[in-house]
Protein backbone atom coordinates (compact mmCIF):
# COMPACT_ATOMS: atom_id res chain seq x y z
CA UNK A 1 0.00 0.00 0.00
CA UNK A 2 2.87 2.33 0.84
CA UNK A 3 4.58 1.74 -2.52
CA UNK A 4 1.33 2.38 -4.38
CA UNK A 5 0.95 5.70 -2.56
CA UNK A 6 4.48 6.81 -3.43
CA UNK A 7 4.01 5.70 -7.04
CA UNK A 8 0.80 7.65 -7.45
CA UNK A 9 2.40 10.73 -5.88
CA UNK A 10 5.36 10.48 -8.30
CA UNK A 11 3.09 10.14 -11.31
CA UNK A 12 1.05 13.13 -10.15
CA UNK A 13 4.21 15.20 -9.72
CA UNK A 14 5.39 14.28 -13.21
CA UNK A 15 2.03 15.24 -14.69
CA UNK A 16 2.05 18.59 -12.89
CA UNK A 17 5.67 19.23 -14.01
CA UNK A 18 4.80 18.43 -17.61
CA UNK A 19 1.81 20.74 -17.66
CA UNK A 20 3.82 23.44 -15.86
CA UNK A 21 6.70 23.23 -18.34
CA UNK A 22 4.29 23.38 -21.25
CA UNK A 23 2.60 26.39 -19.70
CA UNK A 24 5.91 28.22 -19.09
CA UNK A 25 7.33 27.26 -22.49
CA UNK A 26 4.46 28.96 -24.26
CA UNK A 27 5.06 32.18 -22.29
CA UNK A 28 8.28 32.23 -20.11
CA UNK A 29 7.61 35.82 -19.07
CA UNK A 30 9.67 38.93 -19.51
CA UNK A 31 11.64 40.95 -16.90
CA UNK A 32 13.22 44.33 -17.62
CA UNK A 33 15.54 46.05 -15.14
CA UNK A 34 16.83 49.55 -15.98
CA UNK A 35 19.19 51.47 -13.66
CA UNK A 36 21.22 54.57 -14.65
CA UNK A 37 21.37 53.70 -18.32
CA UNK A 38 21.97 50.01 -17.77
CA UNK A 39 19.27 47.69 -19.03
CA UNK A 40 18.90 44.01 -18.16
CA UNK A 41 16.41 41.89 -20.03
CA UNK A 42 15.66 38.26 -19.16
CA UNK A 43 12.89 35.78 -18.73
CA UNK A 44 10.89 35.45 -15.50
CA UNK A 45 12.18 31.92 -14.94
CA UNK A 46 15.81 32.98 -15.17
CA UNK A 47 15.18 35.98 -12.89
CA UNK A 48 13.64 33.77 -10.19
CA UNK A 49 16.52 31.29 -10.41
CA UNK A 50 19.05 34.15 -10.23
CA UNK A 51 17.39 35.54 -7.10
CA UNK A 52 17.45 32.11 -5.44
CA UNK A 53 21.14 31.62 -6.24
CA UNK A 54 21.96 35.15 -5.01
CA UNK A 55 20.06 34.54 -1.76
CA UNK A 56 21.97 31.28 -1.24
CA UNK A 57 25.33 32.97 -1.83
CA UNK A 58 24.51 35.82 0.55
CA UNK A 59 23.42 33.34 3.24
CA UNK A 60 26.63 31.38 2.83
CA UNK A 61 28.74 34.52 3.06
CA UNK A 62 26.83 35.60 6.20
CA UNK A 63 27.53 32.25 7.82
CA UNK A 64 31.21 32.58 7.08
CA UNK A 65 31.21 36.12 8.45
CA UNK A 66 29.57 34.96 11.71
CA UNK A 67 31.81 31.92 12.12
CA UNK A 68 34.51 33.64 14.25
CA UNK A 69 31.89 35.13 16.59
CA UNK A 70 30.09 31.79 16.91
CA UNK A 71 33.39 30.06 17.62
CA UNK A 72 34.17 32.60 20.36
CA UNK A 73 30.71 32.20 21.90
CA UNK A 74 31.02 28.42 21.85
CA UNK A 75 34.40 28.62 23.55
CA UNK A 76 33.04 31.06 26.14
CA UNK A 77 30.07 28.77 26.83
CA UNK A 78 32.36 25.76 27.27
CA UNK A 79 34.68 27.72 29.56
CA UNK A 80 31.76 28.96 31.68
CA UNK A 81 30.42 25.43 32.08
CA UNK A 82 33.85 24.22 33.16
CA UNK A 83 34.07 27.03 35.69
CA UNK A 84 30.59 26.26 37.01
CA UNK A 85 31.50 22.59 37.37
CA UNK A 86 34.78 23.43 39.09
CA UNK A 87 33.00 25.86 41.40
CA UNK A 88 30.37 23.30 42.41
CA UNK A 89 33.04 20.68 43.06
CA UNK A 90 35.06 23.14 45.14
CA UNK A 91 31.90 24.06 47.07
CA UNK A 92 31.26 20.38 47.84
CA UNK A 93 34.88 19.95 48.94
CA UNK A 94 34.69 22.93 51.30
CA UNK A 95 37.08 25.12 49.31
CA UNK A 96 34.74 28.07 49.52
CA UNK A 97 37.08 30.86 48.39
CA UNK A 98 38.07 28.98 45.24
CA UNK A 99 34.43 28.05 44.65
CA UNK A 100 33.33 31.66 44.88
CA UNK A 101 35.99 32.76 42.40
CA UNK A 102 35.16 30.05 39.87
CA UNK A 103 31.44 30.68 40.15
CA UNK A 104 31.91 34.43 39.73
CA UNK A 105 33.67 33.76 36.42
CA UNK A 106 30.90 31.40 35.35
CA UNK A 107 28.33 34.20 35.69
CA UNK A 108 29.68 35.84 32.54
CA UNK A 109 27.60 33.46 30.42
CA UNK A 110 23.95 34.49 30.59
CA UNK A 111 22.38 31.03 30.75
CA UNK A 112 24.61 29.97 33.66
CA UNK A 113 24.32 33.22 35.57
CA UNK A 114 21.48 32.26 37.90
CA UNK A 115 22.81 28.83 39.06
CA UNK A 116 26.32 30.24 39.44
CA UNK A 117 25.08 33.13 41.59
CA UNK A 118 22.99 30.81 43.78
CA UNK A 119 25.98 28.57 44.42
CA UNK A 120 28.22 31.60 44.96
CA UNK A 121 25.85 32.82 47.67
CA UNK A 122 26.30 29.53 49.51
CA UNK A 123 30.07 29.75 49.19
CA UNK A 124 30.10 33.33 50.50
CA UNK A 125 27.89 32.46 53.45
CA UNK A 126 30.11 29.50 54.33
CA UNK A 127 32.93 32.02 54.74
CA UNK A 128 30.78 34.26 56.93
CA UNK A 129 30.45 36.91 54.19
CA UNK A 130 26.75 37.65 54.56
CA UNK A 131 26.93 40.85 52.53
CA UNK A 132 28.44 39.06 49.52
CA UNK A 133 25.84 36.30 49.89
CA UNK A 134 23.00 38.83 49.94
CA UNK A 135 24.45 40.62 46.90
CA UNK A 136 24.72 37.34 44.96
CA UNK A 137 21.13 36.42 45.84
CA UNK A 138 19.92 39.86 44.82
CA UNK A 139 21.54 39.43 41.38
CA UNK A 140 20.19 35.90 41.06
CA UNK A 141 16.71 37.18 41.87
CA UNK A 142 16.70 39.17 38.62
CA UNK A 143 16.69 36.00 36.50
CA UNK A 144 15.52 33.28 38.94
CA UNK A 145 13.43 35.02 41.62
CA UNK A 146 11.70 31.87 42.96
CA UNK A 147 14.95 29.96 43.43
CA UNK A 148 16.70 32.98 44.96
CA UNK A 149 13.86 33.49 47.44
CA UNK A 150 13.86 29.83 48.47
CA UNK A 151 17.62 29.81 48.96
CA UNK A 152 17.57 33.10 50.87
CA UNK A 153 14.96 31.67 53.26
CA UNK A 154 16.94 28.47 53.69
CA UNK A 155 20.13 30.37 54.48
CA UNK A 156 18.23 32.47 57.03
CA UNK A 157 16.97 29.31 58.70
CA UNK A 158 20.43 27.75 58.74
CA UNK A 159 21.62 30.89 60.51
CA UNK A 160 18.86 30.41 63.10
CA UNK A 161 16.79 33.39 61.95
CA UNK A 162 13.52 31.49 61.44
CA UNK A 163 11.37 34.58 61.94
CA UNK A 164 13.08 36.41 59.07
CA UNK A 165 12.74 33.34 56.82
CA UNK A 166 9.02 33.20 57.60
CA UNK A 167 8.65 36.93 56.90
CA UNK A 168 10.38 36.58 53.53
CA UNK A 169 8.14 33.73 52.38
CA UNK A 170 4.81 34.86 53.85
CA UNK A 171 3.77 37.23 51.00
CA UNK A 172 4.36 34.59 48.32
CA UNK A 173 2.68 31.95 50.47
CA UNK A 174 -0.49 34.05 50.66
CA UNK A 175 -0.67 34.08 46.85
CA UNK A 176 0.31 30.38 46.49
CA UNK A 177 3.26 31.25 44.23
CA UNK A 178 6.08 29.64 46.21
CA UNK A 179 8.39 27.08 44.62
CA UNK A 180 8.18 23.54 46.08
CA UNK A 181 11.42 23.93 48.04
CA UNK A 182 10.19 27.28 49.35
CA UNK A 183 7.02 25.60 50.68
CA UNK A 184 9.19 23.24 52.70
CA UNK A 185 11.21 26.17 54.06
CA UNK A 186 7.99 28.02 54.87
CA UNK A 187 6.62 25.08 56.83
CA UNK A 188 9.86 24.61 58.73
CA UNK A 189 10.04 28.32 59.54
CA UNK A 190 6.41 28.34 60.66
CA UNK A 191 7.02 25.39 62.97
CA UNK A 192 10.12 27.02 64.40
CA UNK A 193 8.26 30.27 65.10
CA UNK A 194 5.28 28.49 66.65
CA UNK A 195 2.77 29.22 63.87
CA UNK A 196 1.42 25.68 63.52
CA UNK A 197 -1.74 26.86 61.73
CA UNK A 198 0.28 28.43 58.91
CA UNK A 199 2.35 25.25 58.61
CA UNK A 200 -0.80 23.10 58.40
CA UNK A 201 -2.35 25.34 55.71
CA UNK A 202 0.84 25.00 53.65
CA UNK A 203 0.64 21.20 53.53
CA UNK A 204 -2.01 21.19 50.78
CA UNK A 205 -0.09 23.33 48.24
CA UNK A 206 3.08 21.37 48.98
CA UNK A 207 1.27 18.10 48.35
CA UNK A 208 -0.09 19.42 45.04
CA UNK A 209 3.44 20.01 43.75
CA UNK A 210 4.19 16.26 44.08
CA UNK A 211 7.86 17.17 44.33
CA UNK A 212 8.62 15.82 47.80
CA UNK A 213 9.50 12.22 48.49
CA UNK A 214 6.45 10.47 50.04
CA UNK A 215 8.38 9.37 53.11
CA UNK A 216 9.72 12.90 53.60
CA UNK A 217 6.26 14.39 53.19
CA UNK A 218 4.72 11.92 55.64
CA UNK A 219 7.33 12.77 58.27
CA UNK A 220 6.80 16.50 57.73
CA UNK A 221 3.02 16.10 57.86
CA UNK A 222 3.27 14.17 61.13
CA UNK A 223 5.34 16.95 62.69
CA UNK A 224 2.98 19.66 61.48
CA UNK A 225 -0.16 17.88 62.68
CA UNK A 226 1.41 17.13 66.05
CA UNK A 227 2.45 20.77 66.48
CA UNK A 228 -1.03 22.01 65.53
CA UNK A 229 -2.69 19.64 68.00
CA UNK A 230 -0.31 20.50 70.83
CA UNK A 231 -0.91 24.22 70.22
CA UNK A 232 -4.67 23.90 70.90
CA UNK A 233 -5.50 25.92 74.04
CA UNK A 234 -8.73 24.21 75.08
CA UNK A 235 -10.51 20.91 74.62
CA UNK A 236 -13.20 22.30 72.29
CA UNK A 237 -10.62 23.72 69.89
CA UNK A 238 -8.60 20.52 70.02
CA UNK A 239 -11.60 18.29 69.33
CA UNK A 240 -12.74 20.53 66.48
CA UNK A 241 -9.26 20.38 64.94
CA UNK A 242 -9.12 16.61 65.36
CA UNK A 243 -12.51 16.23 63.71
CA UNK A 244 -11.40 18.40 60.76
CA UNK A 245 -8.52 16.06 59.93
CA UNK A 246 -8.96 13.40 57.29
CA UNK A 247 -9.23 9.74 58.27
CA UNK A 248 -5.70 9.15 56.98
CA UNK A 249 -4.33 12.06 59.02
CA UNK A 250 -6.01 10.76 62.18
CA UNK A 251 -4.10 7.52 61.65
CA UNK A 252 -0.72 9.24 61.59
CA UNK A 253 1.01 7.89 64.73
CA UNK A 254 2.66 11.18 65.66
CA UNK A 255 -0.61 13.09 65.32
CA UNK A 256 -2.59 10.48 67.29
CA UNK A 257 -0.02 10.46 70.09
CA UNK A 258 -0.02 14.27 70.23
CA UNK A 259 -3.83 14.41 70.34
CA UNK A 260 -4.07 11.79 73.09
CA UNK A 261 -1.47 13.50 75.28
CA UNK A 262 -2.93 16.96 74.73
CA UNK A 263 -6.57 16.03 75.36
CA UNK A 264 -5.50 14.20 78.53
CA UNK A 265 -3.54 17.25 79.67
CA UNK A 266 -6.71 19.32 79.16
CA UNK A 267 -8.61 17.04 81.53
CA UNK A 268 -10.34 14.71 79.06
CA UNK A 269 -8.26 11.50 78.81
CA UNK A 270 -11.05 9.19 77.67
CA UNK A 271 -11.26 10.39 74.00
CA UNK A 272 -7.53 9.93 73.56
CA UNK A 273 -7.63 6.56 75.27
CA UNK A 274 -10.46 5.43 72.99
CA UNK A 275 -8.70 6.66 69.84
CA UNK A 276 -5.49 4.82 70.74
CA UNK A 277 -7.28 1.58 71.56
CA UNK A 278 -9.17 1.75 68.26
CA UNK A 279 -5.95 2.36 66.36
CA UNK A 280 -4.06 -0.50 68.03
CA UNK A 281 -6.80 -2.99 67.16
CA UNK A 282 -5.71 -2.81 63.51
CA UNK A 283 -2.27 -1.16 63.46
CA UNK A 284 0.79 -0.88 65.65
CA UNK A 285 3.07 2.04 66.53
CA UNK A 286 5.64 2.38 69.30
CA UNK A 287 4.91 6.11 69.60
CA UNK A 288 1.20 5.44 70.11
CA UNK A 289 1.87 2.74 72.71
CA UNK A 290 4.15 5.04 74.69
CA UNK A 291 1.53 7.80 74.51
CA UNK A 292 -1.03 5.37 75.94
CA UNK A 293 1.05 5.15 79.11
CA UNK A 294 1.27 8.94 79.41
CA UNK A 295 -2.47 9.71 79.58
CA UNK A 296 -2.98 11.71 82.76
CA UNK A 297 -5.95 10.96 85.02
CA UNK A 298 -7.03 7.98 82.88
CA UNK A 299 -7.92 4.64 84.47
CA UNK A 300 -4.46 3.15 85.11
CA UNK A 301 -5.79 -0.30 85.90
CA UNK A 302 -7.81 -0.52 82.69
CA UNK A 303 -4.89 0.70 80.62
CA UNK A 304 -2.57 -1.82 82.30
CA UNK A 305 -4.93 -4.69 81.54
CA UNK A 306 -5.25 -3.62 77.90
CA UNK A 307 -1.49 -3.26 77.52
CA UNK A 308 -0.90 -6.70 79.03
CA UNK A 309 -3.31 -8.08 76.44
CA UNK A 310 -1.20 -6.55 73.65
CA UNK A 311 1.88 -8.22 75.14
CA UNK A 312 0.65 -11.59 73.88
CA UNK A 313 0.95 -10.45 70.28
CA UNK A 314 4.08 -8.28 70.80
CA UNK A 315 6.19 -10.01 73.47
CA UNK A 316 9.51 -8.59 72.21
CA UNK A 317 8.40 -4.98 71.74
CA UNK A 318 10.55 -2.69 73.88
CA UNK A 319 8.13 0.24 73.63
CA UNK A 320 5.29 -1.90 74.97
CA UNK A 321 7.44 -3.16 77.85
CA UNK A 322 8.39 0.43 78.71
CA UNK A 323 4.72 1.44 78.56
CA UNK A 324 3.86 -1.44 80.89
CA UNK A 325 6.65 -0.36 83.24
CA UNK A 326 5.34 3.21 83.29
CA UNK A 327 1.79 2.05 83.95
CA UNK A 328 3.00 -0.13 86.82
CA UNK A 329 4.95 2.84 88.22
CA UNK A 330 1.80 4.96 88.01
CA UNK A 331 -0.01 2.22 89.93
CA UNK A 332 2.89 1.93 92.41
CA UNK A 333 3.47 -1.69 91.40
CA UNK A 334 7.24 -1.41 91.76
CA UNK A 335 8.12 -5.10 91.52
CA UNK A 336 6.01 -5.67 88.44
CA UNK A 337 7.41 -2.53 86.81
CA UNK A 338 10.96 -3.74 87.54
CA UNK A 339 10.17 -7.09 85.92
CA UNK A 340 8.91 -5.51 82.68
CA UNK A 341 11.83 -3.09 82.49
CA UNK A 342 14.37 -5.83 83.18
CA UNK A 343 12.93 -7.76 80.26
CA UNK A 344 13.14 -4.68 78.06
CA UNK A 345 16.80 -4.23 78.96
CA UNK A 346 17.55 -7.82 78.00
CA UNK A 347 16.12 -7.14 74.55
CA UNK A 348 17.74 -3.73 74.01
CA UNK A 349 19.51 -1.26 76.30
CA UNK A 350 17.76 1.94 75.39
CA UNK A 351 17.83 5.39 77.03
CA UNK A 352 14.04 5.28 77.30
CA UNK A 353 14.19 2.00 79.23
CA UNK A 354 16.84 3.29 81.61
CA UNK A 355 14.82 6.44 82.29
CA UNK A 356 11.79 4.35 83.25
CA UNK A 357 14.03 2.13 85.37
CA UNK A 358 15.39 5.20 87.18
CA UNK A 359 11.83 6.33 87.97
CA UNK A 360 10.98 2.85 89.23
CA UNK A 361 14.04 2.62 91.48
CA UNK A 362 13.45 6.12 92.79
CA UNK A 363 9.87 5.19 93.63
CA UNK A 364 11.11 2.11 95.47
CA UNK A 365 13.47 4.28 97.48
CA UNK A 366 16.64 2.89 95.86
CA UNK A 367 18.23 6.26 95.19
CA UNK A 368 21.69 4.81 94.51
CA UNK A 369 20.28 2.50 91.88
CA UNK A 370 18.21 5.34 90.42
CA UNK A 371 21.36 7.46 90.09
CA UNK A 372 23.12 4.66 88.21
CA UNK A 373 20.06 4.22 85.97
CA UNK A 374 20.00 7.93 85.12
CA UNK A 375 23.68 7.80 84.21
CA UNK A 376 23.04 4.73 82.07
CA UNK A 377 20.27 6.60 80.26
CA UNK A 378 22.77 9.28 79.29
CA UNK A 379 25.34 6.67 78.27
CA UNK A 380 22.80 4.78 76.17
CA UNK A 381 21.83 8.01 74.43
CA UNK A 382 25.52 8.49 73.58
CA UNK A 383 25.87 4.83 72.54
CA UNK A 384 28.34 4.20 75.37
CA UNK A 385 28.70 1.13 77.60
CA UNK A 386 26.36 1.07 80.61
CA UNK A 387 27.13 0.06 84.18
CA UNK A 388 25.32 -2.70 86.13
CA UNK A 389 22.88 -1.69 88.82
CA UNK A 390 24.09 -1.98 92.43
CA UNK A 391 23.61 -5.51 93.72
CA UNK A 392 22.26 -6.81 90.39
CA UNK A 393 23.59 -9.87 88.60
CA UNK A 394 25.18 -9.22 85.19
CA UNK A 395 22.50 -11.39 83.57
CA UNK A 396 19.43 -12.10 85.67
CA UNK A 397 17.57 -15.29 84.96
CA UNK A 398 14.16 -14.46 83.53
CA UNK A 399 11.26 -16.41 82.16
CA UNK A 400 12.35 -16.18 78.54
CA UNK A 401 9.11 -17.73 77.39
CA UNK A 402 7.51 -14.37 78.03
CA UNK A 403 10.23 -12.65 76.04
CA UNK A 404 10.86 -14.99 73.12
CA UNK A 405 8.17 -16.74 71.14
CA UNK A 406 8.53 -19.35 68.44
CA UNK A 407 8.86 -17.78 65.03
CA UNK A 408 8.31 -19.65 61.79
CA UNK A 409 9.20 -18.87 58.19
CA UNK A 410 6.66 -18.60 55.40
CA UNK A 411 7.15 -22.35 54.88
CA UNK A 412 6.30 -23.20 58.50
CA UNK A 413 9.90 -24.01 59.49
CA UNK A 414 10.85 -22.89 63.06
CA UNK A 415 13.30 -19.99 63.06
CA UNK A 416 15.82 -19.12 65.76
CA UNK A 417 15.08 -15.81 67.55
CA UNK A 418 16.96 -12.89 66.08
CA UNK A 419 17.85 -14.77 62.87
CA UNK A 420 16.41 -13.31 59.71
CA UNK A 421 14.70 -15.67 57.30
CA gap 145, 142 in Å, rounded:
6
> For residues 208-237, b (16+ Cβ closer than 10 Å) or e, as one string?
eeeebeeeebeebbbbbbbbbbebbeeeee
Q: What is the pLDDT of residue 421?
A: 40
- Cα-Cα-Cα-Cα dihedral of 346, 351, 352, 356, to 10°? 80
Q: What is the pLDDT of residue 414?
A: 55
Instruction: Give just the sign of the alpha carbon dihedral 68, 70, 73, 79.
Output: negative
> For residues 301-313, b (16+ Cβ closer than 10 Å) or e, as one string?
eebbebbeebbee
Q: What is the pLDDT of residue 417?
A: 45
As a CATH number, domain 312-416 is: 1.25.40
Q: Indicate the domain borders of the chain.
A: 76-143, 226-298, 312-416
What's the average model confidence in pLDDT over 8-13? 81
Q: What is the pLDDT of residue 405?
A: 45
Using one digit for the tens of pLDDT, what is the confidence trace for 151-176? Answer: 888 888 888 899 999 999 999 998 98
Q: Which of 8-17, 141-150, 270-279, 405-414 has the lowest mean pLDDT?
A: 405-414
Using one digit for the tens of pLDDT, what is the confidence trace for 18-77? Answer: 777 666 666 667 777 777 778 777 777 777 777 888 788 787 777 776 666 565 566 667
Question: Is the confidence at residue 284, as pLDDT, over 90?
Answer: yes
Helix (H, G, I), strand (E, B) or coil at 135: helix
What's the average model confidence in pLDDT over 1-10? 76
Alpha helices per DSSP H over 127-285 = 130-143, 145-158, 162-174, 180-192, 196-201, 203-209, 214-230, 235-244, 247-250, 253-265, 269-280
Instruction: Give just the sign of the alpha carbon dihedral 48, 49, 54, 60.
Output: positive
What's the average model confidence in pLDDT over 259-283? 93
What's the average model confidence in pLDDT over 396-404? 47
Question: Is the confidence at residue 398, as pLDDT, over 50?
Answer: no
CA gap 294, 300 in Å, rounded:
10
CB of 202 closer than 8 Å to CB of 191: no
Q: What is the pLDDT of residue 354?
A: 94
Question: Is the confidence at residue 130, as pLDDT, over 90?
Answer: no
CA gap 335, 364 in Å, rounded:
9
CA gap 162, 173 in Å, rounded:
15
Using one digit for the tens of pLDDT, what is the confidence trace for 85-117? Answer: 888 888 888 888 888 888 888 877 777 788 888
Amino acid sequence: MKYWTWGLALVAAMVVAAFGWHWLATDPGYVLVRLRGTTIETTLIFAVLALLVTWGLVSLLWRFARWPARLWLRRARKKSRERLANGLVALAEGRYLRAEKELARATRYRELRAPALLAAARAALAQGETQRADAALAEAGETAPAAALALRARLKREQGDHAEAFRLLAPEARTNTLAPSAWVEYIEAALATGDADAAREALAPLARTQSVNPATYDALEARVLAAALVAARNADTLNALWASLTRAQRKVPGALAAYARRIAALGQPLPGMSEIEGYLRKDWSDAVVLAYADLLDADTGARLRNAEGWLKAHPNNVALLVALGRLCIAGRLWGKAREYLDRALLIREDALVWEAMAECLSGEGDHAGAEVAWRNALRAARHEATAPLPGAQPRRALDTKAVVVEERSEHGVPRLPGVAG
